[in-house]
C-alpha cells in the first residue's frame, strides 16, 4: 500500500511539474543578450546557470507537489578574490512577470538587466 501511495504521489508531482508553464528570462549585460528557459522542477535544488562576464545568474522554477509553483532568480557577481557571491535574489509567483530589473555590482558599478515571464 505504501509503495502504491508513493507511486501516486510521484506521478501527481510529475504531472504538476509538467503542467507548470515554462518561464523565460532575458538577460542583458554589456550589450550581450541571452534568453534562458527554466524547466519546472520538483524541488529548489537545481536550476539553470547562465554566465555573463562577471555575473552568474541562477534561474529556477520550482513546482513542488501540491504547492504553488514559483521562480527564483539569483544574481551572483565576481568578487575581488575571484569567487562569486550572491548580490540579489527575487522570488516570483504566477504569472512570473518580474518586470525589467537592473542589478548593479557594487564594486565596479557594472550592471545586469533581466526580465522574466511565462511563455505562452
DSSP H or E segment with residue 6: helix 2-19
Q: What is the mean pLDDT of residues 4-31?
A: 63
For residue 74, which of 60, 64, 93, 94 has the smallest C-alpha distance? 60
Angle at 103 between CA 36 and CA 64, to 5 degrees: 50
**Whole-Å CA distances, 7 to 2, 4, 11, 12, 66:** 8, 5, 6, 9, 15
For residue 24, which of 35, 15, 12 has the smallest C-alpha distance? 35
How long, in residues, is the chain? 120
Could you report the per-residue pLDDT of 27-79, keeping only the tens digit for each?
999 999 999 998 888 877 889 999 999 999 999 999 888 888 999 999 999 98
Q: Are strands 40-41 and 23-29 parallel, antiparallel or unpaired?
A: unpaired
Bridge partners of 35, per DSSP, are: 26
Q: What is the pLDDT of residue 42?
A: 82
Q: Cα 47 from chain centroid?
A: 6
Amino acid at each position: 500500500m505504501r509503495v502504491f501511495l508513493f507511486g501516486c504521489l510521484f506521478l501527481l508531482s510529475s504531472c504538476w511539474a509538467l503542467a507548470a508553464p515554462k518561464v523565460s528570462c532575458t538577460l542583458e549585460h554589456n550589450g550581450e543578450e541571452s534568453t534562458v528557459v527554466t524547466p519546472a522542477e520538483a524541488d529548489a535544488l537545481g536550476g539553470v546557470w547562465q554566465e555573463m562576464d562577471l555575473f552568474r545568474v541562477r534561474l529556477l522554477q520550482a513546482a513542488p507537489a501540491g504547492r504553488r509553483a514559483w521562480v527564483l532568480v539569483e544574481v551572483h557577481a565576481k568578487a575581488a578574490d575571484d569567487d562569486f557571491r550572491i548580490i540579489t535574489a527575487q522570488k516570483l509567483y504566477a504569472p512570473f512577470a518580474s518586470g525589467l530589473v537592473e542589478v548593479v555590482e557594487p564594486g565596479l558599478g557594472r550592471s545586469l538587466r533581466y526580465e522574466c515571464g511565462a511563455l505562452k
